[in-house]
Amino acid sequence: MRRRTFLQILAGASACPLLGVRSLVAQQAGGKPRLGILIYSTPRTDPNTASLLRGLSDVGYVDGQTIDIAFRAAEGQADRLHGLAKELVALKPNLIFCLGSDVATVAIKVVQGVPLVFVASADPVQLGFVESLARPGRQVTGVTLLLDELASKRLELLKEAAPRISRVAIFWNPDHVESELQLAERAAANIGVTSIQIPLRGSQDTAAALAAATEAQADALYVVSSRQTVLEIGRFVDYATQRRIPLAGGWGAWTQAGALLSYGPNVDEMVRLAASYVPKIIKGTTPADLPVQQPTRFELHVNLKTARALGLSMPEAFLLRADKIIE
Percent of the chain with pLDDT over 90: 71
pLDDT score for 177: 67
pLDDT score for 49: 93
Q: Is residue 243 classed as helix, strand or coil in its secondary structure?
A: helix
Please state whether 317 falls in left (phi above 0), alpha (psi between -120 and 50) or beta.
alpha
Please state whether 259 falls in left (phi above 0), alpha (psi between -120 and 50) or beta.
beta
pTM of the predicted protein model: 0.84
pLDDT score for 37: 98
- pLDDT in single tens digits along all 327 residues of the chain: 333 433 344 443 333 333 333 333 333 445 899 999 999 999 888 889 999 999 999 999 999 999 999 999 999 898 999 999 999 999 999 999 999 988 999 999 998 889 999 999 888 998 899 999 999 988 999 999 987 788 899 999 999 999 999 999 999 888 776 678 888 899 999 999 999 999 988 788 999 999 999 999 999 999 988 888 888 899 999 999 999 999 999 989 999 999 999 999 999 999 999 999 999 999 999 999 999 999 999 999 999 999 999 999 988 999 999 999 999
The residue type found at 138 is: R
pLDDT score for 227: 81
Domain boundaries, the chain: 6-146+266-289, 151-264+298-326
The single-letter DSSP state of residue 217 is T
Report whether 94 contacts 115 (CB < 8 A). Answer: yes
CATH architecture for residues 6-146+266-289: 3-Layer(aba) Sandwich (3.40)
Q: CA 197 to CA 184: how far, in whole Å?
A: 10
Evaluate whether 6-146+266-289 and 151-264+298-326 have a shared fold: yes
CATH 3.40.50.12280 fits 151-264+298-326, yes or no: no
Q: CA 207 to CA 247: how far, in whole Å?
A: 17
